[in-house]
Amino acid sequence: MSALEQYGLLLGLTIGVIAFVLSLYLFTQMIGKTRQEPAKDVPATGGQLSRDPVWVRYHARYYGYALLFLAFDMEMAFMYPWAVVYKQVGRVALLDMGVFLAILFLGLLYGWSQGALRRQ
């Protein structure tokens, strides 16, 4: 299969998926009746109206947890493809992953030294 045929297949699949999603959307618009109710737009928690404003700001200490989560989430996203090609590439892949994990570990140590993991 040539590159042009592969791109044609990819274009056809993309157009097919977009057409399928649009047809589902139009189908739900045709058969689904929506009613406007005054209570639908009110934010509620567990069936009761919230006393606090809906758009509250989170404390800055949670951003450290979020960044650590993203770092280790990206680690897993890179380790799965690495595990697939490790057998083919060999020691070079092992060295590359070691450097990657060492950099992440240094970031974890830095976060730990700054108190990002301290419970408050």
Computed from CA positions of residues 50, 51, 57, 58, in that sequence, does the dihedral angle turn out positive or negative?
negative
pLDDT one-digit tens code per residue, 48-99: 666 666 666 777 777 777 877 887 888 888 888 888 888 888 888 889 889 9
Q: For the chain, give every domain's residue range.
A: 1-31, 60-120
Percent of the chain at pLDDT exceeding 90: 23
What is the per-residue pLDDT for 99? 92
